[in-house]
Amino acid sequence: MPGQLINGQKLKSAKMNALVYHGAGKKSWEEKPKPIITEPSDAIVKILKTTICGTDLHILKGDVPEVTDGRILGHEGVGIIEEVGTAVTDFKKGDHVLISCITSCGKCGSCKKGMYSHCEKGGWILGHLIDGTQAEYVRIPYADTSLYHIPANTDEEALVMLSDILPTAYECGVLNGQVKPGDVVVIVGAGPIGLACLITAQFYTPAEIIMVDIDDNRLEVARTFGATQTINSNNENALQKIMTLTEQKGVDVAIEAVGIAATFELCEAVIAAGGHIANVGVHGKAVALHLETLWSKNITITTRLVDTVTTPLLLKTVTAKKLDAAKLITHRFALNDIISAYDTFENASKEKTLKVILTNK
The answer to whether the beta carbons of residues 111 and 141 sit under 8 Å apart is no
The answer to whether the beta carbons of residues 66 and 177 sit under 8 Å apart is no
Count CB-CB contacts under 10 A for residue 285: 7
Rounded to two decimals, what is the model's pTM?
0.94
> What's the pLDDT score for residue 284?
83
Residue 130 DSSP label: B
C-alpha distances out from residue 139 to 143, 199, 268, Å: 9, 32, 42
> What's the pLDDT score for residue 98?
98
The three-class DSSP label of residue 176 is: coil
Q: What share of the chain is helix, strand, coil (3-state, %, to 5)?
A: 30, 25, 45
Q: In a structure prediction context, what are the per-residue pLDDT tens digits for the chain, which is 361 residues long? A: 444 444 444 445 799 999 999 999 999 999 999 999 999 999 999 999 999 999 999 999 998 999 999 999 999 999 999 999 999 999 999 999 999 999 999 999 999 999 999 999 999 999 999 999 999 999 999 999 999 999 998 999 999 999 999 999 999 999 999 999 999 999 999 999 999 999 999 999 999 999 999 999 999 999 999 999 999 999 999 999 999 999 999 999 999 999 999 999 999 999 999 999 999 998 888 999 999 999 999 999 999 999 999 999 999 999 999 999 999 999 999 999 999 999 999 999 999 999 999 999 8
- C-alpha span between 206 and 45 (Å, rounded): 40
- C-alpha span between 78 and 82 (Å, rounded): 13
